[in-house]
Chain A
Amino acid sequence: MFLRAQHGRICTHLHLYGTPDFSRLTEEANIRWVAQSLLPGSEPLSHRGGDGGVLVLHGFTGTPQSMRPLAQRFVDASFSVEMPLLPGHGTRIEDLVPMRFSDWRKAAEDAYLRLAGVTKRVIVAGLSMGGSLACRLAADHPEIAGLVLINPFIEPPADGFREILRATLASGMEIAPAVGSDIAKPTVSELSYPGSPLAAALSLFEGLDDLVDDLDRIACPVLLLSSREDHVVPVSTGDFLMERLRVPVTRTWLEHSFHVATLDYDAGIIESAALAFAQEMTKMTKGAAPAVRGAEMSGDASTAVTAQAAEAAEAAEVVASAGAARLTTEPDVRDGSDAGPSPAGERPRGLATGTITIDEDTHVARLARLSLSDMELEQFTGQLAAVLEHAADMARLDISATAPTSHPLPVQNVMRDDEPRPALERDEVLGQAPRVEDYRFWVPRILAEGQ
């Protein structure tokens, strides 16, 4: 946490330097952190789990506290996890003053190598400067399987701004004020230093200068999680990053969080998305490197399957909503070459025995537009089989002479007189949409390449 860089406008940085009483600040810091021990909550984490590894990196002036809930999710999901305490952090602010980007880079590198030694595939997750370090590692280590970047600090601040910092430093002030833990949720705070050592910050900026030149060396898929409102790094830094990366990026907007989003309202979204991403990226697949999550096809054959699956899903939806309507033609959603559960002709016509296979689950997930991790698939398959087994008791009933009930009451179409009435407020409706352009809902392209 250090410089308020809202919208990247220099003027917002400047006003911070108008009045702060730095001496009071450092004095307060001295009093508060007089005990040189580790701040409670800032302890590093090292966990031996399965073959998949996750390296978790905190931000500048922060501690592992900001990343602990996320790290814990990986631990719970049986990943091996390393979450180092970066040099100079988690004790007292003076300890950060002499530290430089190279120190943090080395610490991240060491932790990565420790983790890589005991796992088969590693992804790196970082917040803010932790995101910068994650990119640094991925540029240096092409074997890294994926990056989870949460409001990463990528775009180097402008020279004019650095000049001001250098001048401040030259005037004898070593520490700039922090903006505090930038979190929307009022009940939560980040364990961080009450100020930002200027020399250390300037060194971080230089680290970014080098990193920017190497961003095109990153070869793994990236999950980018961006807060819409961030008072520490400019929101534009995500776009800056995406312009320079040559790998697929899945970007998720965090609507309700500020900079330290891992502790904010959207923590759950981050954790679920990061976990699913990590599971996908560390999956041991034969052949090609794992594709980005949700992007499972590119060739003509597989897109054809998808189009058919979409049809089937739509048909299914029609059945459910129309109620009384019967699905008379059953579209064969899989052609013979596809590895389906069984050829269409052999599908059970009586009540199934209450089994469902992982292949069927995968197929159904595609119909339902869900991308499930292996762990979810395995879990759901067992649970759904138990429900279907219970439902098999219906096979005992003779239904040959019974009409179906789709609705407890007789329903009919209801039409009102065709006269104009006020509709919903357009702006209110569009205001709730994730993305709008020219009063229209904005969606990515509908057809995949080649369609």
Chain B
Amino acid sequence: MPAGGAGAGNGDREDREDPAMSPTVTDGKLSEVASGDLPFAGEHASRQNATGGPFQTATEIAAGVSKGEFSAREVIEEHLARIAARDGELHAFNEVMSRDALDAADRVDRLVASGEDPGPLAGVPVALKDNLCTRGVPTTCSSRILAGWRPPYDATVVRRVREAGGVIIGKTNMDEFAMGSSTETSAFGPTLNPLDNNRVPGGSSGGSAAAVAAGFASLALGSDTGGSIRQPAAMCGVVGMKPTYGMVSRYGLIAFASSFDQVGPFAQRARDAAMLFEAIAGHDEADSTSLDRPAPSVSSLLGAGVSKLRVGVVSELVDAASADVASRVREAANLLATAGALVDEVSIPMCTYSLSAYYLLAPAEASSNLARYDGVRYGLRVEAPTAEKMTTATRSAGFGDEVKRRIMLGSYALSAGYYDAYYARAQRVRTLILDAFDTAYKRFDVLLAPTSPTTAFEIGSKIDDPLAMYLSDVCTIPSNLAGHPAMSVPFGVGDDGMPVGVQVLAPALAEPVMFQVAVVLEDGAPTAKSRGATASVVPAHAGQGEGTPV
């Protein structure tokens, strides 16, 4: 089913919301979990709380399942019920893998029962962006050209999630081939922001961000080529992280722009993101760009604090943001200073050229990568008398507007006569941007910036103006050009009550210090009334239901 998300049992909706039908209501242990210090306090979760246990954070689920306090099956059934109740409206999923997920949960439960180690992600529901290959399960990139395609192999990250005991719960909607910043370019229709259905969830990994924000999955994987994990994380009020280029295997990630693409985690909290990052990071011989060195341990430093850390606030990126977003970033900087960090402003003028360089380089790589969709080996074919006509007809029918635009832009930038003016120049500007970051990181351990220049915008407001859409990536792109890690942490809300994300940027391989800062930001993030409210605006130790805006 090309667009299976909407078919995820919406007919059961009424029943599912009836407490009597909730699969997890009656277990006393679950109620105990429910009364614990869960950070997720959304409207939806509150309703679930009344009926039983809201399995929310990945660390708590993994701990509870490993100890046998509750079963992985119960966890998965609860999440599937939430999906059934609300995904018809949100469309976070292209495919919900109910049966596979329940089977995987049962396997985890059997390991626990037999006294074996079920792995660090035991029983944790994980959603996958639909550009990660899952053997035998449709993997579409939200494109008509791949609708119904069932890969013959699993991506390395998918295998690693399973090996760690994680339960793959479904494939999430995305901008077609990850080209977009709002999930509106999906061939199967947009995903709605769970906090305000009139707004976009960001993109391109909007389905993964929405799935975590709506409590459909505790963790999710996305891909970040120009901000596609961090920007939707910011817009949905969750944590999203792009690792150092080469840190996570891309074997089985459907390529968009190969010198930028990186797989990374979404989670409710930074410590949960750290857990998933550690499960997927590390060398993979199947990916020739994979770093041949052990992945750094990040969880060991999570509580180390920021004392004496040098933090630079990037003025050009703060200036690029709206006033309310810029204020949150300054407040975040103040918080770090209060916690002992050495905070200063830093100017990196070269950042302002990032967008120009990226929107020539990434489309150029995309035009090459997407040449493989020729109607021969997989996906759509529109028959025609010769191979070239067949390929042209197939691509014209199979690709959506944004993909066609980027292929056009990339082919133009690479074509004879324009190559030097566009592609070659952008490659040199990329060098200048790398140099500028290297200079900045001589003075600072991490940098601070907005994740997105604005909070989530309204559906339809930018889709007809590609340049305006591209500009929403202005704060995230520099890290992709540099290949550096960066992550977005929810930090308060904007004037419209929608979540704001603050971005922590770090030099290559510096994930541990980046997480260290993220945890301090998260723990000190302001409590504020927001629509629907998520983990983003509730301190991690706030009592459930107390002062919880709904």
A residues neighboring B (CB under 8 Å): 185-187, 248, 250-253, 255-256, 265, 268-269, 272-273, 276, 293-295, 306, 310, 312-313, 315-317, 319-321, 323, 326-327, 330-333, 344, 347-352, 356, 360-361, 363-365, 367-372, 376, 380, 383-384, 386-388, 390-395, 397, 399, 402-409, 411, 413-414, 416, 424-425, 428-429, 431-435, 441, 443-448
Contacts and interface: CB of A to CB of B under 8 A. Distances in A.
B259 A406 contact: yes
Contacts of B377: 429, 432-433, 441
B376 A434 contact: yes
B150 to A, nearest CB: 6
29 contacts: A250-B393, A255-B380, A265-B1, A269-B380, A272-B144, A294-B392, A295-B385, A312-B416, A317-B368, A317-B371, A348-B418, A368-B407, A368-B411, A369-B371, A370-B392, A370-B404, A370-B407, A391-B422, A394-B357, A397-B429, A399-B425, A399-B432, A405-B427, A405-B434, A408-B245, A408-B434, A409-B483, A432-B151, A432-B379
A397 B399 CA distance: 35
B387 A444 contact: yes
Nearest to B400: A272
B359 interface: yes
A403 B424 CA distance: 10
Given A187-B6, A425-B152, A441-B377, 8 more contacts: A317-B367, A368-B367, A371-B393, A406-B259, A409-B289, A433-B376, A433-B377, A444-B385
A339 to B, nearest CB: 15
A313 B411 contact: yes
Interface in B354-372: 355-357, 359-360, 364-365, 367-369, 371
Of the listed residues B369, B374, B382, the one surrounded by the most CB atoms of chain A closer than 10 A to its CB is B382
Of the listed residues B291, B365, B388, the one surrounded by the most CB atoms of chain A closer than 10 A to its CB is B388
A352 B365 CA distance: 20
A448 B418 contact: no
Contacts of A391: 356-357, 359-360, 422, 426
A258 B465 CA distance: 37
Contacts of A413: 288
Contacts of A317: 367-368, 371
Given A368-B408, A387-B409, A404 B427 contact: yes
A252 B382 contact: yes
Contacts of A432: 149-152, 377-379
Contact of A276 (B396, B420, B429): B396
A356 B422 CA distance: 13
A434 B368 contact: no
Contacts of B482: 408
A364 B148 CA distance: 29
B485 to A, nearest CB: 11
Contact of A294 (B1, B258, B396, B428): B396
A294 B470 contact: no
A407 to B, nearest CB: 5
B461 interface: no
B50 interface: no
A444 B148 contact: no
B421 A253 contact: no
Interface of B: 1-3, 6-7, 10, 144, 147-153, 187, 245-246, 258-259, 285, 288-289, 291, 352-353, 355-357, 359-360, 364-365, 367-369, 371, 374-393, 395-399, 401, 404-405, 407-412, 414-432, 434, 465-467, 470, 481-484, 508
B309 to A, nearest CB: 24
Of the listed residues A269, A387, A393, A399, the one surrounded by the most CB atoms of chain B closer than 10 A to its CB is A387
Nearest to B367: A368
A409 B421 contact: no
A79 to B, nearest CB: 18
A265 B356 contact: no
Of the listed residues A306, A361, A428, A447, the one surrounded by the most CB atoms of chain B closer than 10 A to its CB is A428
A431 B150 CA distance: 9
Contacts of B390: 443-444
Contacts of B392: 294, 369-371
Contacts of B375: 434
A22 to B, nearest CB: 31
A443 to B, nearest CB: 5
Contact of B421 (A294, A352, A429): A352
B420 A402 contact: no
Contact of A351 (B246, B421, B432, B466): B421
Contacts of A331: 416
A28 B293 CA distance: 73
A333 B429 contact: no
A351 B414 CA distance: 13
Contacts of B258: 321
Nearest to B370: A368
A364 B466 contact: no
B295 to A, nearest CB: 15
Contacts of B7: 185-187
A333 B376 contact: no
Contacts of B393: 250, 252, 293-294, 371
Contacts of B401: 376
A445 B352 CA distance: 49
Nearest to B416: A330
Contact of A405 (B289, B417, B430): B430
A428 B152 contact: yes
Contact of B384 (A295, A349, A431): A295
Contacts of A434: 375-376, 378-381
Given A265-B3, A393-B353, A407 B259 contact: yes
Q: Which 10 A-B pairs have the closest CB atoms?
A: A408-B483, A404-B427, A320-B368, A434-B381, A347-B417, A316-B414, A330-B416, A399-B428, A391-B356, A428-B152
A433 B379 CA distance: 7
Nearest to A377: B408
B405 A348 contact: no
Contacts of B426: 391, 394
Contacts of A388: 422
Contacts of A425: 152
A265 B2 contact: yes
A369 B374 contact: yes
Contacts of B374: 369
A369 B416 contact: no
Of the listed residues A253, A364, A392, A409, the one surrounded by the most CB atoms of chain B closer than 10 A to its CB is A364
Contact of B412 (A272, A360, A402, A433): A360
A380 B152 contact: no
A158 to B, nearest CB: 28
A376 B403 CA distance: 12
A306 B388 contact: yes
B397 A251 contact: no
Nearest to B353: A394
A316 B289 CA distance: 22
A161 B1 CA distance: 35
Contact of B411 (A294, A367, A408, A448): A367
Contacts of B387: 443-446
B404 A380 contact: yes
B380 to A, nearest CB: 7
A406 B431 CA distance: 9
Nearest to B373: A369
Nearest to A435: B381
B226 to A, nearest CB: 13
A189 to B, nearest CB: 14
A445 B404 CA distance: 25
A164 B391 CA distance: 46
B453 to A, nearest CB: 15
Given A397-B353, A403-B428, A408-B483, A253 B383 contact: yes
Nearest to B258: A321
B408 A295 contact: no
